């Protein structure tokens, strides 16, 4: 059996790293990578706490649904990124500011 | 300290180190490969935590699917000169403050581990039964969500001619 507290620390670490990546990177694909990392951090938590409950598998199933939603998010996100890139010829979020001006 | 413990620490270090490497890397392509390392290390951790089905799903869906999509995205949005692969940083101080602050906030509330019980779930069969009995409605909705996402992605990227 794995140590739950270490896994929870790992989940928190992955989540915070993903958040920082999404904030500081100047490329929309890197922002998408950060979001994937955050989703994985939450999945680590679900698996870790499922260990405390032995035979129940609700954590595993929740993790599977998280993976499904992550797939949908990646597909739609990249479609939008391609569309925006074709229109602005840029994948830097700071240069896509038509709504701000 | 058994072999499983050593493997556990190695996989944890690999996952955390590759995540940090994404943070400090300036190359989108390399970052995607570091993400692959993180995902595979997490799949190994899931296997050690008796979650084989989630581990296999993680490898198939993340490493096989999402990573390929992301690499496609990188190829399609980078200029051939290669210069666009380099990524700059902005808001470094505030980003680091948010990340570190949230991490220490979360870490404050982690309790030291109590002994988990040693019941080993009968994994894949039970997941199938639970998915098709107790969770059948969310399962169907997830299928619908995937269909909508696929159709939506195809429509968003298609060249639609405006009607005259």
On chain B, the residues whose CB falls within 8 A of the CB of A66 are none
Cα dihedral B87/B93/B94/B100 (nearest 10): 100
pTM: 0.89
Task: Nearest chain A residue to B78 by CA: give it.
Answer: A91
As a whole number of angstroms, the distance between CA B123 and CA B138 comes to 20
User: Among A19-33, B7-21, B71-85, where is mean pLDDT lowest?
Assistant: B71-85
Collapsed DSSP state (helix, strand, coil) of residue B57: helix
Q: Which of A23, A44, A83 lies at the smallest CB-CB distance from B91?
A: A23
Integer-rounded Cα Rg, in Å, for chain B is: 21
The single-letter DSSP state of residue B91 is S
pLDDT digits (tens, 9 = 90+) for A47-87: 988 887 767 788 889 999 999 999 999 989 989 888 888 88
Q: Which chain A residues are within 8 Å of B160, Cβ to Cβ?
A: none
Q: Which two tokens stand for residue A8?
A: 């929870």
8 Å CB contact between A40 and A66: no
Token reading at A38: 């955050």
Decide if B54 and A44 are in contact by the 8 Å CB cutoff.
no
Give SS3 for A83. helix
A77 CA to chain B: closest CA distance, Å?
A: 8
Binned at pLDDT 50, 70 and 90, residue B3 comes out as confident
Compute CA A2 distance to the chain's CA centroid, rounded to the nearest angstrom: 24
Selected residues 44-63 of chain A with any CB under 8 Å from a CB in chain B: 44, 47-48, 50-52, 54-58, 60-61, 63
Whether B15 contacts B42, CB under 8 Å? yes
ipTM above 0.85, yes or no: yes
In this complex, do A78 and B73 lie within 8 Å of one another by their Cβ atoms?
yes
CB contact under 8 A, A26 and B96: no
**Cβ-based neighbours of B117, under 8 Å, separated by 6 or more:** A52, A54
């Amino acid at each position: 059996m794995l140590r739950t507290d270490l896994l929870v620390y790992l989940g928190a670490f992955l989540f915070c790293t993903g958040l920082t990546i999404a904030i500081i990177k100047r490329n929309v694909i890197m922002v998408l990578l950060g979001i994937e990392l955050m989703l994985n951090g939450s999945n680590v938590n679900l698996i870790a706490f499922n260990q405390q409950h032995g035979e129940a598998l609700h954590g595993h199933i929740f993790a599977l649904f998280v993976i499904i939603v992550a797939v949908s998010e990646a597909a739609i996100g990249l479609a939008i990124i391609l569309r925006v890139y074709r229109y602005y010829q840029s994948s830097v979020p700071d240069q896509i500011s038509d709504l701000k001006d | 300290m058994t072999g499983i413990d050593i493997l556990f620490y190695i996989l944890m270090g690999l996952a955390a180190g590759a995540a940090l490497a994404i943070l400090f890397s300036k190359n989108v392509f390399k970052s995607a490969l570091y993400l692959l390392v993180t995902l595979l290390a997490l799949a190994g951790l899931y296997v050690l935590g008796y979650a084989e089905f989630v581990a296999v799903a993680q490898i198939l869906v993340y490493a096989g699917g999402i990573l390929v999509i992301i690499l496609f995205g990188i190829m399609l949005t980078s200029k051939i000169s290669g210069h666009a692969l380099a990524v700059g940083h902005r808001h470094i101080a505030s980003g680091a403050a948010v990340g570190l602050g949230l991490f220490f906030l979360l870490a404050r509330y982690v309790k030291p581990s109590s002994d988990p019980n040693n019941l080993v779930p009968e994994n894949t069969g039970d997941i199938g039964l639970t998915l098709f009995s107790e969770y059948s409605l969310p399962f169907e909705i997830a299928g619908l969500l995937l269909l909508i996402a696929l159709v939506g992605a195809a429509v968003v990227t298609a060249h639609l001619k405006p009607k005259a």
